Chains A and B, each alone.
Chain A
Amino acid sequence: MPIEPERLAKLTMELRRGVLILAALSALQQEHYGYSLRKQLASFGLEIDEGTLYPLLRRLENQGLLTSNWREEEGRRRRFYQISEDGQEALAKMNCEWNNLNKAMSILKENTL
């Protein structure tokens, strides 16, 4: 029985959700405001909807992994985010975990497909 597109979309979303923190922390090595971050991630093929990205940025900031400040740029008030020291430490550990996961998945696929 073919899987319905809606269910597939949910499964994909669940898979991507965990990666978003890693992606956001990686991209925020450089300072970004929300919209520019979203565009940059999209340019790498990682589309995130605003309803997910902004609350995520706030959560990461509350956890001390990001810092933010309001600035005026091009005549518009914008909130700029950047990774904090704690964020760098978390990112390094998460990158290790990501590499381990990738390795494990490759081995699993090689042995099962």
Chain B
Amino acid sequence: MNWLKRYVSSVKHYLPNKLKNDVADELYSDLQDQCDDKSAELGRDLTDQEYHQILLNRGHPMSVAASYQPHSTLVSEELFPIYLQVLKWVIFTLLIVQIVTAITGLTYKTDPNYIRAAIQIISGTFNSGLMGFASVTLVFYLLGESINRKEILKNWHPKKLPTFTDSGEEISIFESSIELVFQLLFLGFINNIFALLDLKMGIVTFQASEQLHAMLPWINLALILGVIFSLYKILAPYWTKRLIVTNWLVYAVSYMVLVGLYQADPVIALEIINTEGIATMYDLPTHWWTNFLFVIGIVFAIDIGFYIRKYMRLN
């Protein structure tokens, strides 16, 4: 019987506290009955090998314990195919970013170290990949939870289908996913940068103007709105007028943040203290800052032009 007790204890180990004793008692009683029956059938006590065979037929204690628990997952079955697609693109994008960064770094060096660059690509992709994986999983977990709570899939009705005609345009899951990926990465990046501000990291200190600090919640708001809208677009099959108008509203918020940033003091500075303790300040030139924001503004404007065309087509 020692084998049975050992087996039941092992199953118990993998069970949550509320199930432990109940399941273990029932399992032990069932195993005893089975062994008694087998013993009566053979007319003798069971050998160790026969006990082993009975336990082998039951399966690994972890599998037995798992069968008593609901198969809950972080990402719901319905969202899993899209989650997998987005995750692939996140990892792919991160790999590309790492490669481009490494190549750019190499071009500035007179004596480039290719092995070191390769190691940087691998370790950089691994580290940022872990962050990307965690962020995407968290976003899809929250999305799945809200879909379940609001019973969106259950309350679906054909009337909710978009009034799609031949002129209607499909929303590309690929484009929305790439948008989502960049917004997530930028969200992580910007908050990481701000978290490092004014912190002395060895000889280096990053600094930003107070105005830029004050803009952080608004930047986050614009990005979070963008993330939510991208997720919505991933789930929505076609462009509708309402969706285009919502898109403009999201853009409007981003524009307002951009205008705020444009007017803010562009002080992003890097202070480096050399071995003799002398600090040197490297300011980001104002024209770089304004040019950067101007280019983003132009990209936004071009994109809005495309959406106006889409809207006209739907008319």
Contact = CB atoms under 8 A, between A and B. Distances in A.
B33 interface: yes
Contacts of B63: 51
Interface string A59-85: 000000000001000001111000000
Given A77-B25, A79-B25, A79-B26, A50 B32 contact: no
Contacts of B64: 51
B161 to A, nearest CB: 31
Assign chain B's interface to a size class: 10 to 19
B27 A76 contact: no
Nearest to A79: B26
Contacts of B32: 76
Interface of B is mostly: helix
Contacts of A98: none
Given A77-B25, A79-B25, A35 B68 contact: no
Contacts, number: 36
B68 A58 contact: yes
A33 to B, nearest CB: 7
A35 B58 contact: no
A26 B172 CA distance: 51
A76 B29 contact: yes
B29 A50 contact: no
A49 to B, nearest CB: 8
Interface in B176-216: none
Interface string B27-61: 10110111000000000000000000000011100
A5 interface: no
Contact of A54 (B30, B33, B57, B59): B30
A18 interface: no
B25 A51 contact: no
Interface in B1-27: 23, 25-27
13 contacts: A34-B30, A35-B29, A35-B30, A35-B33, A51-B63, A51-B64, A51-B67, A52-B67, A54-B67, A55-B67, A55-B68, A58-B68, A70-B25
Given A54-B26, A76-B29, 8 more contacts: A34-B26, A35-B34, A49-B57, A50-B30, A51-B63, A54-B23, A54-B67, A55-B68
